[in-house]
């Protein structure tokens, strides 16, 4: 299991300190949401912050592109380690994922809560990660959508039966309660922002998420 703190929910003033926290008590991952105000309502970050972070840290930079026509912008995120694009954001999904691969990066594909898993059938053998949005993307504080657990379970079944190697990542109101059904449904990478950085002690929140998943691991043995 991998806990991935999301920079979107960090106060801009505290970003440097929160990067250190992700390095010290996390799993050496950092999630960076890129939003264009078009594919989703909000705007956030861009390629420069990814490049700047890569110069200063060895954290695995997990970049989530919530932008329209991502095929036009992939090169801007060449300093990321993982680049995920939305199935709904492009008519050139296969080519876009190959663009990411040609940069030597791990390629991920994301789906919104209302998008069926079977829309990804043709790219399962290409991707390194499938990101299931457990909220509608682009808004903060959205309620966890329980029906997305079925998508996670469906992906796990597809992955196991076909011996695919992709990670199953979840993002959207992941806290010490919602992480448990996500884990039991089959997810192994958990993005959390508001739960971690909305607290006065983000270190303890990361530790609590790790404890929740480790307890489930022991319980399921």
* Choice between 218 and 71, residue whose per-residue pLDDT is larger: 71
* Active-site annotation holder among 36, 62, 128, 171: 171
> Known catalytic residue: 14?
no
pLDDT, position 217: 64
Say yes or no to pLDDT of 219 above 70. no
Per-residue pLDDT at 115:
97
E-strand spans in 135-186? Answer: 167-171
Domain that includes residue 46, residue range: 2-220
Number of domains in the chain: 1
DSSP H or E stretch at residue 94: helix 93-102
- At 93, which CATH number? 3.20.20.70
Mean pLDDT of the chain: 93
How confident is the model at residue 45, as a pLDDT?
87
Cβ pair 71, 96 in contact under 8 A? yes
- Cβ pair 92, 117 in contact under 8 A: no
- Mean pLDDT for 133-137 is 95
Q: What is the pLDDT of residues 185-197, one digit of tens each?
A: 999 999 999 999 9
The Cα angle at residue 198 between residues 82 and 48, in degrees rounded to 5 = 35
Q: How far is CA 71 from CA 6, 74, 91, 97, in A?
A: 23, 6, 9, 9
| Token couple for 184 | 């039991």
Does residue 171 have an active-site annotation? yes
Identify the pLDDT of residue 29. 96
CA gap 28, 22 in Å, rounded:
6
| Residues 155 and 129: beta-carbon distance below 8 Å | no
pLDDT(103) > 90: yes
Higher pLDDT, 83 or 214: 83
C-alpha pair distances (Å), 171 with each of 31, 54, 160, 183, 219? 10, 22, 21, 12, 24
Q: Which of 33, 36, 79, 128 is catalytic?
A: 33
Note the pTM of the prediction, 2 decimals. 0.94
């Amino acid at each position: 299991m991998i806990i991935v703190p999301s920079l979107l929910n960090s106060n801009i003033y505290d970003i440097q300190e929160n990067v250190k926290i992700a390095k010290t008590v996390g799993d050496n991952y950092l999630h960076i949401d890129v939003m264009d105000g078009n594919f989703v309502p909000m705007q956030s970050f861009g390629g420069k912050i990814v490049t700047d972070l890569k110069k200063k840290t060895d954290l695995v930079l997990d970049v989530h592109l919530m932008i329209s026509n991502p095929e036009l912008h992939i090169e801007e995120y060449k300093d990321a380690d993982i680049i995920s694009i939305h199935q709904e954001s492009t008519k050139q999904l296969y080519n876009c994922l190959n663009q990411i691969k040609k940069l030597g990066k791990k390629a991920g594909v994301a789906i919104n809560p209302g998008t069926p898993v079977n829309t990804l059938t043709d790219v399962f053998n290409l991707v390194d990660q499938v990101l299931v949005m457990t909220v509608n993307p682009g808004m903060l504080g959205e309620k966890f959508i329980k029906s997305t657990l079925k998508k996670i379970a469906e992906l796990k079944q597809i992955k196991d039966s076909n011996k695919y190697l992709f990670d199953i990542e979840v993002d959207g109101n992941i806290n010490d309660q919602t992480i448990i059904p996500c884990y039991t449904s089959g997810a192994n990478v958990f993005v959390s922002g508001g739960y971690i950085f909305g607290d006065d002690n983000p270190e303890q929140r990361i530790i609590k998420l790790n404890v929740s998943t480790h307890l489930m691991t022991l319980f399921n043995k």
